[in-house]
Amino acid sequence: MSRLLPDRHPTKDFFILDVREASPKDDIASMEHPIFSLSVKPDMRELEYEHNGKRIIVSPSGRGLATIMDKDIIFYCISKLTYLQNQGLKIDNWVEVTAHEVMVATNWNIGARDYKRFEDSLLRLRGTTIITNIATGDTEQIEGFGIIDRFEIERIGENGNRSAFGRMSKIRIKLSDWTFNAVKAGEVPTINPQYFRLRRPLERRIYELARKHVGERSVPWQIGLEKLQKKVGSSAPTKKFRFFMREIIRDGH
């Protein structure tokens, strides 16, 4: 098995705004702190994290916590808003997308099951609640809020008219103020597009931490295994987490 997922869409005709130079972005707050579940199954835990006076509580909805794979949608929304802002255009919390453009840009398959997965991701992102004192854009928000505040799906039936059961044609997503403040403040580093080819949720989470702390520098970043496990948000026993890390290191050589 390849260490990476295949590049499912090598021709990026449907990349952000159909513009090849647009780059995928992440937000510093969720890169640094564990917001998203690493589980591939419904995760009904309530997560609590505290480090150096910064605290996060993440609570699931009935569909479970939002996952690191669900976060691909957030990546795309942040990237699109950042691109528009860099063009000197006015932006707000709302982002209009199609499921197809998001899935192509983030290396998803584009079959019927994947469109269903996309909807499930929106529901988990809307249902997951965050309470935190971590500021974004110098704004500290301590009330509870969803990873996204709201979403709207427009569907089209076989006859081309709007339909409650047709295919998704247009989606509007309202980001939380917490995420939007990060975009406005420029707290959104560029990530390598190869991120979307990483197979393991843990690999993706480790990449985020490394990108945040090391960036483009050649200076090494050191962290103990126990602290690393805490920061990535892994609930695995220490012995199992060490095993996972050895697998990732082995596959990286």
176-222 pLDDT, tens digit per residue, is 999 999 999 999 999 998 999 999 999 999 999 999 988 766 677 88
Q: Which pLDDT does position 20 carry in this prediction?
A: 41
Condensed to tens digits (0 to 9), the pLDDT of residues 118-128 reads 999 999 999 99
The CA-to-CA distance between both ends of the chain, in Å, stands at 14
Asked whether the predicted pLDDT for residue 139 surpasses 80, the reply is no
Q: How far is CA 145 from CA 69, 126, 141, 196, in A?
A: 20, 9, 9, 27
- Across-strand partners of 136? 139
Q: Quick check: pTM over 0.85?
A: yes
Helices (H), 69-224: 71-86, 99-105, 112-127, 177-184, 201-213
Distance, in Å, from the CA atom of 44 to the CA atom of 68, rounded to the nearest integer, reads: 15
Q: What is the pLDDT of residues 26-72, one digit of tens each?
A: 999 899 999 999 998 999 999 999 888 888 999 999 999 999 999 99
